[in-house]
Amino acid sequence: MSDSGAAPARKLPPVVESAVASMALVIAGGIFLAAYLPRQAPLPIPIGLISLAAVLLAATVVMLTRLGEFAWNRFRQVSGWALAAYLVIAGMLEYVLLVDRTRGALLLLMTVTLTIFALDIPIVLGFSVARHQEVGSSPTA
């Protein structure tokens, strides 16, 4: 059953799909590292996974920057608050790593992982809300 009065849906790039794939790679890398605890995990596999996640995150950001007409006010509203929350979460996790005396390449890898984590989710949330808003709609308080 279709609504003949509905406006056709705009074709948008796969922003959510790209960000979710990036998050899946980060999670896979984290699980790989956790599987070796308390021993040191071999780093080439998680480095590869997290590097691919970073490339996907960069592609996601490029797709976002190329959107012309979009409900940017709503995107900024939703993703801004989500980013604030996830920066706090990532900061607390980074603190735990430092207290646990994580050092060297593993600390760098985990910091990159937390950064991707803190950026992916706000993008997914902001885009998922803004894509259903009218272009130029102003956020209501």
* Residue pLDDT, tens place only, 12-68: 899 999 999 999 999 999 899 888 877 888 999 999 999 999 999 999 999 999 998
Give the global pTM.
0.84
* Residue pLDDT, tens place only, 90-130: 999 999 989 988 888 888 999 999 999 999 999 999 999 99
According to the model, what pLDDT value does residue 9 have?
64
Q: Cβ neighbours of residue 47 under 8 Å, at least 6 residues apart?
A: 109
Domain ranges of the chain: 15-130
CA distances from 103 to 37, 110, 121 (A): 15, 10, 26
Inter-residue contact 37 to 110 (CB < 8 Å): no
Inter-residue contact 50 to 113 (CB < 8 Å): yes
Q: Which of 60, 81, 61, 73 is nearest to 133 (CA)?
A: 73
